[in-house]
């Protein structure tokens, strides 16, 4: 009898301890590399080799949102994913490839090859300690091509594997949201109203005047019947002024917002929906991948 009580006490203690551990390292708090000590990292690596690297930008986001909007989005969602999965979030890249927004002051940009190198060297250092599964959470369209290059380089030249889990990635649904609401518009403003409301100047929200070149106008109108042509229209938009395609940010938008939606109708409820959808998709994916041990 006594033996049984002893056994029960030990089992409850083990259960209690594992719940506490998962509370600290799993579901309660996001694991941010900069906030951890090397001992924490060493401990983490005993059971896990996954890491999330958010990719953002410092670029104009209309008159009402901060230049760091994409960073707050990428980092904000990565933190929520970390809270639920216990995967470490490594430093957010505060600058991305954004040169075509530079008609508006404050925008910073790295050349694609610089950005690729920074990300690759970051991954290389993390590999040294045992990280083997890299997930990039990007929230800036201009970074996509660099993200693809880094992922390819990691997958083809190192022991590690890399995968995209952010905006536009294979695990996220595409084609949602309004027809042309690409930058600093209703969708993004809603996300910021949910994730970082103190940085949104609601009284400054103003719908933009959009100016398309005749070619883009034609493609855009055709895309209403055949959505795929919107991708072609996109090739003329968000490109440096030197390309003479009329697609630099200040050429196509009066105030930096790229949207035909009513930006004033943005709300934190809409933002929460988008954030929940993206975070849940990533959490589901990570939990599935976690079944394969390190």
> Footprint of Zn ion on this chain (CB under 5 A)?
69-70
**CB nearer to Zn ion: pick between 69 and 84:** 69
- Taking CB atoms, the residue at the shortest distance from Zn ion is 70
DSSP lists the bridge partners of residue 54 as 137
CA distances from 39 to 12, 20, 45, 87 (A): 28, 18, 10, 16
Give CA–CA dist 203/206, Å, rounded.
Answer: 8
Q: Residue 10 has which token pair? A: 């030990």
Give CA–CA dist 182/53, Å, rounded.
Answer: 23
CA distances from 138 to 46, 164, 165, 166 (A): 27, 8, 8, 5
**CB nearer to Zn ion: pick between 69 and 190:** 69
In the bound complex, what is the minimum distance in angstroms from residue 120's beta carbon to Zn ion?
24
In the bound complex, what is the minimum distance in angstroms from residue 189's beta carbon to Zn ion?
10
In the bound complex, what is the minimum distance in angstroms from residue 242's beta carbon to Zn ion?
22
In the bound complex, what is the minimum distance in angstroms from residue 69's beta carbon to Zn ion?
5
**CB nearer to Zn ion: pick between 44 and 258:** 258
**CB nearer to Zn ion: pick between 56 and 86:** 56
Task: Decide if 245 contacts 294 (C-beta within 8 A).
Answer: no
**CB nearer to Zn ion: pick between 85 and 98:** 98
In the bound complex, what is the minimum distance in angstroms from residue 175's beta carbon to Zn ion?
18
Q: Residue 221 has which token pair? A: 């109108």
Q: Residue 74 has which token pair? A: 């990428």
DSSP H helical segments within the chain, as ranges?
Answer: 2-22, 38-47, 69-85, 112-129, 144-157, 186-195, 214-223, 229-235, 249-252, 268-290
In the bound complex, what is the minimum distance in angstroms from residue 60's beta carbon to Zn ion?
9
**CB nearer to Zn ion: pick between 86 and 247:** 247
């Amino acid at each position: 009898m006594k033996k049984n009580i002893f056994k029960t006490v030990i089992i409850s203690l083990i259960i209690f301890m594992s719940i506490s551990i998962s509370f600290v390292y799993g579901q309660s708090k996001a694991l941010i590399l900069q906030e951890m000590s090397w001992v924490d990292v060493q401990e983490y690596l005993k059971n896990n080799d996954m890491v999330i690297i958010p990719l953002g930008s410092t670029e104009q986001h209309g008159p009402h949102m901060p230049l760091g909007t994409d960073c707050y989005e990428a980092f904000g969602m990565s933190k929520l994913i970390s809270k639920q999965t216990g995967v470490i979030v490594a430093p957010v890249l505060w600058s991305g490839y954004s040169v075509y927004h530079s008609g508006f002051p404050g925008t910073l940009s790295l050349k694609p090859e610089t950005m690729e190198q920074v990300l690759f060297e970051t991954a290389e250092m993390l590999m040294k300690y045992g990280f083997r599964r890299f997930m990039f959470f990007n929230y800036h369209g201009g970074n996509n091509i660099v993200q693809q290059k880094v992922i390819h380089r990691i997958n083809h030249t190192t022991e590690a594997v890399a995968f995209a889990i952010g905006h536009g990635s294979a695990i996220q649904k595409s084609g949602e949201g309004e027809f042309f609401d690409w930058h600093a518009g209703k969708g993004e403003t809603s996300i910021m109203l949910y994730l970082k409301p103190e940085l949104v100047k609601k009284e400054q929200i103003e719908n933009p005047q959009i100016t398309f070149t005749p070619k883009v106008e034609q493609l855009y109108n055709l895309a209403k019947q055949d959505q795929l042509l919107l991708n072609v229209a996109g090739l003329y938009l968000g490109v440096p002024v030197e390309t003479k395609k009329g697609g630099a940010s200040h050429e196509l938008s009066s105030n930096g917002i790229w949207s035909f939606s009513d930006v004033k109708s943005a709300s934190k409820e809409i933002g929460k929906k988008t954030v929940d959808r993206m975070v849940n998709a990533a959490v589901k994916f990570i939990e599935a991948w976690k079944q394969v041990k390190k």
